[in-house]
């Protein structure tokens, strides 16, 4: 069983969130001889999120991003590993202890319409966490808090009397953010929170999250496949491929000089702001392997343009790159240029 990493004294406080060797497997169809296929959705993932920091989890659809976020939230039980929040290991807490700590981490889902009850007015939706966690009891206090939360997400006060279907997609997502902010959390997990929105609305929601983070000094775990949005919002980036993290580190060095072939390919796909800019796109060949039977060795070797014999037999581990504030799971010290 993984143990909690010892905090580094005299440098900075311990992280708010620590994920240690986390695994989440799902049982699939029967494959014969009394065995079931096993989906390796998240396979030995470790990272931290500091106070007031945004860590973005990026990667293609099906890489395990959302499963990772839901397991961190406790919506799914981990197969192995541990999640520590504010110094407490979540899977070791009793139901009452977990209920108390849950108010400190909330979630904003991808589709705001399906995550809001169509039978409840906005006031009831935002007030629900206040009642659940007993942070407000009197009607006047609840109304004042709901009005304040609506103002924080730039929604008019009369919104509380309306139903979710009366709003646009961007407005509904603002309501979801207000609901997440209601119990004054220290961490919000944004699971593809802007992917269902129009481009102009995406920018508004991302700017709103950025302002709220600075104002409230909260942390964000931002799950997305949109690297243009991630580059604008995040402090650090973790790149996932087929259930594992292949590169993690500070935003600027990763976007300016990616050190993993998969990261380089993802970043090359980001549209340029200048339409006249010449970008050398990297088009990966082949299909993403099945998480039921991941490739031996490096999981990316079946699509990597720089693959060599070692990649096919030995799985690379995340290693720190000298003085750079990032780690990479690749056997190459430097990526060669593509012809």
The answer to whether the beta carbons of residues 231 and 251 sit under 8 Å apart is yes
Residues whose CB is less than 8 angstroms from the CB of residue 216 and which lie 6 or more positions away in sequence, other chains included: 181, 184
Q: Where in the chain is the domain with CATH 3.40.50.300?
A: 17-104+185-328
Separation of alpha carbons 197 and 110, rounded Å? 9
Count, in order, helices (H) and strands (E) of the chain: 10, 12
**Residue 13 above 90 pLDDT?**
no
- Provide the terminal-to-terminal Cα distance of the chain, rounded to the nearest Å: 46
pLDDT value of position 287: 85
pLDDT value of position 152: 96
pLDDT value of position 1: 45
Q: Are strands 105-108 and 88-89 parallel, antiparallel or unpaired?
A: unpaired
Look at the block and give the residue holding tokens 């693959």. 307
pLDDT value of position 199: 84
Tell me the pLDDT tens digit for each residue of 161-175.
999 999 999 999 999
**Residue 37 above 70 pLDDT?**
yes
Separation of alpha carbons 189 and 54, rounded Å? 10
**Residue 11 above 70 pLDDT?**
no
The pLDDT of 283-292, averaged and rounded, is 86
Distances in whole angstroms, Cα of residue 258 to Cα of each of 242, 311, 319: 18, 19, 14
Q: Are strands 236-241 and 219-224 parallel, antiparallel or unpaired?
A: unpaired
Residues whose CB is less than 8 angstroms from the CB of residue 123 and which lie 6 or more positions away in sequence, other chains included: 143, 146, 160, 161
pLDDT value of position 295: 92
pTM summary value: 0.89
* 81 against 285, higher pLDDT: 81
pLDDT value of position 322: 74
Residues whose CB is less than 8 angstroms from the CB of residue 305 and which lie 6 or more positions away in sequence, other chains included: 261, 282, 284, 338
Which of 81-90, 124-133, 330-339 is predicted with the least confidence, judged by mean pLDDT?
330-339
Cα 93 from chain centroid (whole Å): 23
SS3 content of the chain, % helix, strand, coil (to 5): 30, 25, 45
Separation of alpha carbons 238 and 250, rounded Å? 9
The pLDDT of 330-335, averaged and rounded, is 86
**Residue 275 above 80 pLDDT?**
no
The mean of the pLDDT values for the chain is 89
Q: Which residues pair with 85 in a beta bridge?
A: 17, 88
Separation of alpha carbons 143 and 136, rounded Å? 10
Is 156 buried (19+), middle (13-18) or exposed (0-12) by CB count in 10 A? exposed
Confidence grade of residue 277 (pLDDT, cut at 50, 70, 90): low
Tell me the pLDDT tens digit for each residue of 137-158.
889 999 999 999 999 999 999 9
- The CATH architecture of the domain made up of 17-104+185-328 is 3-Layer(aba) Sandwich (3.40)
Confidence grade of residue 7 (pLDDT, cut at 50, 70, 90): very low
Look at the block and give the residue holding tokens 């079931």. 36
Q: Which of 261, 240, 247 is nearest to 303 (CA)?
A: 261
How many percent of the chain have pLDDT more than 90? 66
Tell me the pLDDT tens digit for each residue of 84-120.
999 999 988 888 888 889 899 999 999 998 999 999 9
Residues whose CB is less than 8 angstroms from the CB of residue 261 and which lie 6 or more positions away in sequence, other chains included: 300, 304, 305, 306, 330, 332, 335
């Amino acid at each position: 069983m993984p143990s909690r990493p010892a905090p580094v004294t005299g440098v900075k406080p311990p992280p708010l969130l620590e994920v240690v060797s986390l695994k989440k497997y799902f049982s699939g169809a029967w494959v014969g001889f009394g065995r079931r296929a096993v989906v390796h959705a998240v396979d030995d993932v470790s990272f931290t999120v500091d106070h007031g920091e945004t860590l973005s989890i990026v990667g293609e659809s099906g890489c395990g991003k959302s499963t990772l976020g839901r397991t961190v939230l406790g919506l799914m039980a981990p197969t192995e590993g541990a999640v520590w929040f504010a110094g407490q290991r979540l899977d070791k807490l009793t139901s009452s202890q977990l209920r108390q700590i849950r108010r400190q981490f909330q979630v904003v889902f991808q589709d705001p319409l399906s995550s809001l009850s169509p039978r409840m007015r906005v006031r009831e939706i935002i007030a629900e966490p206040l009642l659940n966690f007993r942070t407000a009891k009197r009607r006047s206090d609840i109304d004042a808090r709901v009005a304040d939360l609506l103002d924080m997400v730039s929604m008019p006060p009369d919104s509380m009397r309306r139903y979710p279907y009366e709003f646009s997609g961007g407005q509904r997502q603002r309501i979801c953010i207000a609901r997440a902010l209601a119990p004054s959390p220290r961490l919000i997990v944004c699971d593809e929170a802007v992917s269902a929105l129009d481009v102009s609305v995406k920018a508004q929601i991302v700017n709103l999250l950025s302002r709220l983070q600075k104002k409230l000094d909260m942390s964000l775990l931002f799950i997305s496949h949109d690297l243009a949005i991630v580059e604008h919002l995040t402090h650090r980036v973790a790149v996932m491929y087929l259930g594992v993290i292949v590169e993690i580190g500070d935003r600027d060095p990763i976007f300016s000089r990616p050190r993993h072939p998969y990261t380089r390919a993802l970043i090359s796909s980001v549209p340029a702001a200048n339409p006249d800019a010449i970008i050398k796109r990297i088009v990966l060949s082949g299909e993403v392997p099945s998480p039921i039977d991941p490739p031996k060795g490096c999981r990316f070797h079946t699509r990597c343009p720089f693959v060599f014999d070692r990649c096919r037999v030995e799985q690379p581990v995340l290693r720190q790159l000298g003085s750079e504030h990032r780690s990479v799971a690749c056997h190459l010290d430097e990526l060669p240029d593509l012809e």
